Structure 1
Amino acid sequence: MVRFMVSLLVFLPGVVCKVTIVKCNIRDPLPILHKYYQSGDLSIGGIISQVHRFSNSIPFDKYPSYELVDDHVNFSPGWTYLASMELLSTQGGVIPNYNCGFQSHPVAAIGGPDICLHMSTILSIYKIPQLTYGSAPVVNKEDQAVFFQPMFPNGDHQHSGILQVLLHFRWTWIGVLSVNDDNGERFVHDVLPTFSHHGICFDFIERFPTVSFYIDFSNMMDESLKIYKVVMASTATVMVLYGEIETMMILKTFLQFSEVEDIPRKTKIWMMTAQMDFTSSSIDRYWNIGFLHGALSFAVHTKEVLGFWEFLQTRNPSSGEQDGFIKFFWEQAFICLFPKSEIHPQSEKTCTGEEKLEALPASVFEMSMTAHSYSIYNAAYVVAHALQSMQLHKSKQGWKEATAAGGRQNLQNQELWQINHFLRRVSFNNSAGEKIFFDENGELVAGFDIINWVMFPNQSFLRVKVGGIDPWAPPDNVFSIHEDSITWPSIFNQAQPLSLCNDNCYEGFSKKKKEREPFCCYDCLACPEGKISSQKDMDDCSQCLEDHYPNHRQDTCIPKGITFLSYEEPLGIVLASFALLFSFITALVIGIFIKHQETPIVKANNRDLTYALLVFLLLSFLCVFLFIGRPDTLMCLLRQPAFGIIFSVAVSCVLAKTVIVVLAFMATKPGSRKRKWVGKRTASSIVLSCSVTQTMICIVWLATSSPFPDVDMHSMTDEIILECNEGSVTMFYCVLGFMGFLAIVSFSVAFLARKLPDSFNEAKFIIFSMLVFCSVWLTFVPTYLSTKGKYMVAVEIFSILASSAGLLGCIFPPKCYIIVVKPELNNRQHLMKGKY
């Protein structure tokens, strides 16, 4: 039916424009019956698209009217030419190239995008401007293009808006249906590649069946069925439809296949371009158009025209005698008949003319002005303002001011084709309060609304504005969408629909492309150890910063904790407690030996070496505290050299005691020259030389590559280790190696002296102590290298405590037992008799 029911009387100073709208009727080719005429000083013609019907191909053995019996047809070129010629002829008759009476040619014509090219063939000859309310057609002739003025914004803004919607909802897997014409071809070849560059993939790209007047209906249905099968087999949820006015009718047609074919209809989200519109027809009340529920479409930005609703409420068949549409529309809309009706009887009901338009479902008639109707409304005012501008321009050039009647006559007698110059320069505010003007390229400066379709059981619907594209807004506001205002199909339970080739790769996973599939299709792989993905569908997992580590789900990075061997933790407390315990025992032994220093057992085997050994064992226990606590510069500089020198002195004391015992027994022969080596000088020399050697090693270490506080972020996954970097690992193992050398020499000498017959002989005890010492430090090396963090420090502390305790425990308990428990045995006689 007629997409708008509006009588346009355009009043400007000195000008009253009439709007003439015509529609073809094929049963009575001449004259055209369905038209609207409003008298005025100047006329604006209009050839407006309505509903469409198809017929089978025309047989040439019969008169065409026998077969083409439908009252509504698609505007074919022939009928468009006829309507165009009537606009140029006297009202009520068609005499080509003649104008009888006082009626002038229309100053401009308004047409739909599907018919304007054919309309232009006739009207461009007379230099009549043609305003189209849809997308600009592809005009091949320059002499015709100059007369086109689209009432439609730059289509690139709409294409950008479609892409923005797809990206906003993360719809990366879509199907595309485009109209089969030049505009559709440009959309597929020029626009869709930009979608791919932004990560959008296409499950299919198909063309709507070509719509023409003479078409094989059965062939069109076959093509539609093929498209329907492709759409329903698609795994994509979102279908982008790039079409024209008639495309909505094709969509409604082929979606009825679900009722006649054994093909289940899947719920799809239809995204339609602004060129498409819902074309009302009487058959729509019987067809299920619920598929539009939840659809999104673009529309040229509109505002509510004040008074339009009230105007529609006053419209009835008796309100306009020159309206050749309204009675015909009334009968089909309300399924009734007026007396002497021109159409075939479809109802026994008689039209009263008092029926209310607002009672009709929106699928039959909408009470709000649609985007296409809004464009037609603005087009009429663009022409009127251009006429006014032209009249003012002529006045400034010296035209004589006239009376109102004379002014009108002068305007009629002017060469009105000059209005083309003024059309693109108009700028005004329409009655809705919106500014209408064109840019330097002649394109309408306007944006697009994003519409959400809400369907109701009674075949009515609402178009809800949920966003828009405003190319002239600040960058952050060019695209807007209000998700909370969108009504999705019920199958999605009001959750945002997904349109993906496969499920998302969730956090902790990354995408891996599938072979021989579009790039939107991929598998999901878990992130490797040490990496995370914090968002869905990440192309690759990322490494955490050095001071962070992945959580167990590998979807976020957690700050690492700082760790070192401290006095607050159980391990530090245990080790410090043992160090204090052994230090106390060593101090106790020293006290016992000092108290009984004049007894034979204390004097035996060099009392000074015994004191030195006990003191350095005490220091070795105490040096453990250099390894516990937060590492700092002084601690790192002291702890390894101190440990190395102290242990070297202790082991050298043991070595000296063993050497002195061996030399003492070798010097018992009369006249032996070795007697002079038995004494304090030899013992002191051994201890001093060993100590100085180790000290020199440590000095070289400190001078060349000294230890320093360091941070280890890599050894432990979830901890930052505060440690002392040894500086030179080689020097560290040189210190340990020299200690090991002293221990081996001591063990060897003690082993040789193990059977010497003397109660003073400590060789057996030294053998065991060196066995413990060597075992501990040989085990230390692999254990130390296989541990990390504070546990490396704990291993070294344990080795210090164990080896020191081994020396203390293997050498001194027997002597302390005699001194404290068996003092009667602590005399020279018993020592000489070897009765320990």
Structure 2
Amino acid sequence: TSSSQILKKGWAFLHLLLVVSVTQAEELVCRRRGDPENPQLSKDGDIVLGGIFSFHSSWKDRQDTYMDKPLPLQCTSLNFRGFQYAQAMLFAIAEINNSTHILPGISLGYKIYDVCGSIARGVTVALASATGNEMVFVPSDVPCTRPVNVQALLGVTSSSPCMAISTVIGPFHIPLISHFATCACLSDKTKYPSFLRTIPSDYYQSRALAQLVKYFGWTWVGAIRTNDDYGNNGMAIFTDTAQQLGICLEYSVSVFRTDPPEKIQKTVDIIKASTSKVIVAFLSHMDMDVLIHELSRHNLTGYQWVGTEGWIFDFQTAAMDRHHILDGAIGLSIPKAHVSGMREFILDVKPLSSSSNELFTEFWETLFSCKLKNSKSSAENQTECTGHEDVTGVQNSFTDMSLMPIFYNVYKGVYAVAHALHNILSCNKTCNSNVQLDPLTILQHIRNIWFTTKEGDEVYFNENGDPAAKYEIINWQPTENGIVDFVAVGLHDASLPADKQLYLQKKFLVWTQNSNQVPLSVCSEKCQPGTRKVLQKGKPVCCYDCLRCAEGEISNITDSITCVRCDPEFWSNERRDACVKKEAEFLSYEEIMGALLTAASLFGTCMTAVVAFIFFRYRQTPIVRANNSELSFLLLFSLTLCFLCSLTFMGRPSEWSCMLRHTAFGITFVLCISCVLGKTIVVLMAFRATLPGSDVMKWFGPAQQKLSVLGFTLIQVIICILWLTISPPFPFKNFKEFKEKIILECALGSAVGFWAVLGYIGLLAMLCFILAFLARKLPDNFNEAKFITFSMLIFCAVWITFIPAYVSSPGKFSVAVEIFAILASSFGLLICIFIPKCYIILLKPEKNTKKSMMGKGAPKSF
């Protein structure tokens, strides 16, 4: 179709109600095209309001051949709710007409139409109410236009009809105020500029439903919606919000009351096959009734239903649930309301009988299941009724006032229009009836009104034409007589901060199958602290496995998606739900290994002291004097320091202990080896001095021996000073050696300094070993080089073995290896050099003589 044709068709659609005919005397006649639409209820007034309600819920199917003009829609299934809504509108109009405070001197009339639940009929009657059916004669030079017949439209219970009607009447700026159309899409003022409502938008209800589901920990739910704008848009918002809150839908299906039985059965099969135990039902009460009927046939109980205001507080739906499928249902409803006099007015059906005899007859016969005299009803086997029966004695949906909050919404809509008219007409004591009413002006004033009803509720509209969003949380609680009681157990106020919007009294809740325990509906059980969630491949995010956190990682909340690594000084406990401080490990005196090494060190010190005492006691004996007693005492002193320096390696490392242990070890061992080296040189020089003409001993006398020991030791002192100055050892926490422990050790600082100290000790030890080895064949009686050789052999073996053992030993064992090396080498020197002499001094005194020392013996091989 070309753009010009589209424009022509659009223009024809907007002017579908008006046609121009040329009659006699060049007079124009404006009349409505098509069959006239007459209101079911009407009353004249200075200002007329329109009403659109469904007095019937369906219509008879027909097969149009398009050969003849289609017959008017034939409505069926009387709907008492439509009558209640109409009565609420009439009650508000009656109050305003009797009031001296609002629209004084102005009477309101009404024209109320029946749409039978048909969207097409809703559009038709909306246009009819705006233009009327009367023919208007106008001069030839005047355009064929007429003023709007009604100043505002009220009613339309569902969202889809509202969308269609608003699209058509929007360009004319005729206000449409709905009491029950909740689709969030109607808040779009670019599409529906003249639409307003007295019930909150589903944008808030859908989000509130998602928060309610999250509150009870239901993360795995099913969803059923009405297959129209109300259900589809509402469920779309719920789904988006649910995903943000971590809720997953196992299934999402749509139903409609006119669906074939096979489709309804398929929905039931989906519910039966599901694993979720919570069903979110975004349904109108008529669709819910159809679904309940099918669920009852299969006796599908045990599901927790979460509902919207469309059915959650509908007495008719509760009455149909004879198998108690919906017991324990919870959902959102419009807050309870009480309007004085409204219940009595609704039950007074006189306006119905005075306005529409045909409609009243059908209503009365259906209400009392009887047949009036002169009735055209085809029903048989019914009792005859007079038309004066007592309505209050009937128990059905018409006398049920559970929908009073919705009736109150109709009431507030009428008053919103009245207050806008009051402001436009500048009403004080009387209204200025000469003001020309314009739909756009009325619409603008309605958008800006702010008033308080006689019940104390504030009424206003936001920029989208929506009221404030506030809901009661309703719980279906069965009573002893089998009737469901709608109990308010909480509130949801969207105007409050997010963390305060939902308020619930959990102790008053009753759940499905009359249980007091909150139902569980999850795809996977909660992951306890100490575990993390891992998604199952190909499944929603709510389906997961729980994996235990790795060593050194924890999770201390339920359903954690990650495990957090502990700080270096902490480690995970056995349950992996808390970080505990790592055990600090170091070689201490209290543990067995430390105690044994300490005992060995003290034993070596005592043993050295005993040897020193023996040597001091027998210092004048030949064997002591012949072996350079001054160097012997200095060697014993240095050995004492070697034994004691091992103690500095034990205990908690500190800055001073780290510097002391290595330097004390290096200096004392060099002092010790220097003394041994001095004794070895003395032995060699002594035998060389016996050669004829040799004066070598004058170059290595006692003073030179002391200076050599001092010189050798001074070199080590200088190395240690440089080490401590440039990069000294320091206490270090080793986190890498053991995951669950902290190894407290001394870092070397400068590795070059450490190996320089050890290297210098090794150099002296090797030099001493070589010299002692060269002197091994000297006569035994004068020769202690053999014992020095043995001691140096042990010393070098110990320290050569020490290097790989030290490098490979973990934690405190490396310190133990170093202490063991110190003690082993010290005991080797002490035992090899001094024990043989102590044996002679104590046990072989006959050999401790000058003659024995001066005796010549044949050299023995080593």
What TM-score bracket applies, with the shorter chain setting the length?
Answer: 0.7 to 0.9
Q: CA separation of 1:825/1:153 partners in 2, compared to 1, >3 Å: closer, same or farther? A: same
Amino acid at match of 2:445: F
1:179 corresponds to 2:210: no
Aligned to 2:551, the other structure's residue is in SS state coil
Aligned to 2:830, the other structure's residue is in SS state helix
Aligned to 1:131, the other structure's residue is in SS state strand
Query: Are 1:469 and 1:478, in contact at CA under 8 Å, matched by a contact in 2?
Result: yes
Please name the residue that 1:305 is paired with: 338
Please name the residue that 1:436 is paired with: 459
Query: Are 1:303 and 1:432, in contact at CA under 8 Å, matched by a contact in 2?
Result: no
Q: CA separation of 1:808/1:522 partners in 2, compared to 1, >3 Å: closer, same or farther? A: same
Distance 1:570 1:350 in 2: 108
Amino acid at match of 1:647: F
Residues 162-171 or 733-742, more deviating: 162-171
Please name the residue that 1:423 is paired with: 446
1:735 corresponds to 2:781: no
Match of 2:252 among 205, 220, 227: 205
Aligned to 1:290, the other structure's residue is in SS state coil
Unaligned ranges ≥5, structure 1: 1-28, 90-94, 260-264, 396-400
Distance 1:706 1:632 in 2: 12
Q: CA separation of 1:245/1:125 partners in 2, compared to 1, >3 Å: closer, same or farther? A: farther
Residues 821-830 or 224-233, more deviating: 821-830
Please name the residue that 1:382 is paired with: 416
Distance 1:781 1:347 in 2: 114
Query: Are 2:775 and 2:785, in contact at CA under 8 Å, matched by a contact in 1?
Result: yes
Query: Are 2:328 and 2:511, in contact at CA under 8 Å, matched by a contact in 1?
Result: yes
Residues 572-581 or 542-551, more deviating: 572-581
Please name the residue that 1:535 is paired with: 557
Aligned to 2:560, the other structure's residue is in SS state coil
Please name the residue that 1:551 is paired with: 573
Please name the residue that 1:16 is paired with: none
- Backbone CA RMSD of aligned residues: 4.8
Structure 1 residue 613, shift from structure 2 partner: 0.9
Q: CA separation of 1:808/1:456 partners in 2, compared to 1, >3 Å: closer, same or farther? A: farther
Query: Are 1:175 and 1:240, in contact at CA under 8 Å, matched by a contact in 2?
Result: yes
Residues 775-784 or 412-421, more deviating: 412-421
Query: Are 2:490 and 2:505, in contact at CA under 8 Å, matched by a contact in 1?
Result: yes
Structure 1 residue 297, shift from structure 2 partner: 2.3
Please name the residue that 2:179 is paired with: 133
Please name the residue that 1:13 is paired with: none
Query: Are 1:769 and 1:807, in contact at CA under 8 Å, matched by a contact in 2?
Result: yes
Q: CA separation of 1:547/1:125 partners in 2, compared to 1, >3 Å: closer, same or farther? A: closer
Deviations 1:160-203 (A, max 9, x none): 32343344445444444343334555556677456545544443
Please name the residue that 2:32 is paired with: none
Amino acid at match of 1:588: V
Aligned to 1:759, the other structure's residue is in SS state helix
Match of 2:802 among 777, 780, 783: 780
Please name the residue that 1:656 is paired with: 678
Unaligned ranges ≥5, structure 2: 1-34, 80-114, 137-148, 858-862
Aligned to 1:378, the other structure's residue is in SS state helix
Query: Are 1:84 and 1:119, in contact at CA under 8 Å, matched by a contact in 2?
Result: yes
Query: Are 1:663 and 1:677, in contact at CA under 8 Å, matched by a contact in 2?
Result: no
Query: Are 1:243 and 1:276, in contact at CA under 8 Å, matched by a contact in 2?
Result: yes
Distance 1:774 1:238 in 2: 81
Aligned to 1:252, the other structure's residue is in SS state helix
Aligned to 1:549, the other structure's residue is in SS state strand
Please name the residue that 1:757 is paired with: 779
- Identical-pair percentage: 33
Distance 1:428 1:224 in 2: 46
Distance 2:679 2:424 in 1: 126
1:161 corresponds to 2:208: yes
Residues 199-208 or 598-607, more deviating: 199-208
Structure 1 residue 649, shift from structure 2 partner: 1.4
Residues 637-646 or 379-388, more deviating: 379-388
Amino acid at match of 2:264: S
Please name the residue that 2:100 is paired with: none
Aligned to 2:448, the other structure's residue is in SS state coil
Structure 1 residue 314, shift from structure 2 partner: 11
Amino acid at match of 1:97: E
Deviations 1:634-670 (A, max 9, x none): 3232221111110111122223323433443455444
Please name the residue that 1:251 is paired with: 291
Please name the residue that 1:271 is paired with: 306
Please name the residue that 2:91 is paired with: none
Please name the residue that 2:468 is paired with: 445
1:503 corresponds to 2:525: yes
Distance 1:253 1:74 in 2: 22
Deviations 1:211-250 (A, max 9, x none): 4xxx5xxx62111122222333333444443344544234
Query: Are 2:189 and 2:464, in contact at CA under 8 Å, matched by a contact in 1?
Result: no
Structure 1 residue 278, shift from structure 2 partner: 5.3
Amino acid at match of 2:602: L
Deviations 1:352-375 (A, max 9, x none): 977977x969x9975544543342
Query: Are 2:209 and 2:238, in contact at CA under 8 Å, matched by a contact in 1?
Result: no
Please name the residue that 1:295 is paired with: 329
1:801 corresponds to 2:844: no
Deviations 1:418-467 (A, max 9, x none): 54333222222234433221123332123334434334575533444444
Please name the residue that 1:473 is paired with: 496
Aligned to 1:615, the other structure's residue is in SS state helix
1:725 corresponds to 2:747: yes
Query: Are 1:551 and 1:558, in contact at CA under 8 Å, matched by a contact in 2?
Result: yes
1:627 corresponds to 2:649: yes
Query: Are 1:546 and 1:714, in contact at CA under 8 Å, matched by a contact in 2?
Result: no
Match of 1:75 among 117, 122, 125: 117
How many residues are treated as equivalent by the alignment? Answer: 766
Aligned to 1:534, the other structure's residue is in SS state coil
Deviations 1:142-177 (A, max 9, x none): 999454321133443334323433444454444443
1:607 corresponds to 2:629: yes
Q: CA separation of 1:796/1:59 partners in 2, compared to 1, >3 Å: closer, same or farther? A: same
Q: CA separation of 1:347/1:595 partners in 2, compared to 1, >3 Å: closer, same or farther? A: farther
Q: CA separation of 1:452/1:420 partners in 2, compared to 1, >3 Å: closer, same or farther? A: same
Distance 1:604 1:449 in 2: 112
Q: CA separation of 1:491/1:581 partners in 2, compared to 1, >3 Å: closer, same or farther? A: farther
Distance 2:585 2:533 in 1: 36
Distance 1:474 1:773 in 2: 80
Query: Are 2:221 and 2:521, in contact at CA under 8 Å, matched by a contact in 1?
Result: no
Distance 1:122 1:531 in 2: 64
Please name the residue that 2:199 is paired with: 152
Query: Are 1:766 and 1:810, in contact at CA under 8 Å, matched by a contact in 2?
Result: yes
Distance 2:742 2:589 in 1: 18
Q: CA separation of 1:198/1:441 partners in 2, compared to 1, >3 Å: closer, same or farther? A: same
Residues 730-739 or 566-575, more deviating: 566-575
Please name the residue that 2:133 is paired with: 96
Query: Are 1:564 and 1:722, in contact at CA under 8 Å, matched by a contact in 2?
Result: yes
Residues 320-329 or 522-531, more deviating: 320-329
1:494 corresponds to 2:517: yes
Distance 1:374 1:337 in 2: 31
Structure 1 residue 618, shift from structure 2 partner: 0.9
1:113 corresponds to 2:158: yes
Distance 1:378 1:69 in 2: 30
Distance 1:549 1:437 in 2: 60
Distance 1:599 1:416 in 2: 139
Distance 1:38 1:561 in 2: 91
Query: Are 1:132 and 1:151, in contact at CA under 8 Å, matched by a contact in 2?
Result: yes
Deviations 1:259-302 (A, max 9, x none): 4xxxxx47444333445555554x964544633334332334x2
Distance 1:284 1:344 in 2: 28
Amino acid at match of 1:375: N
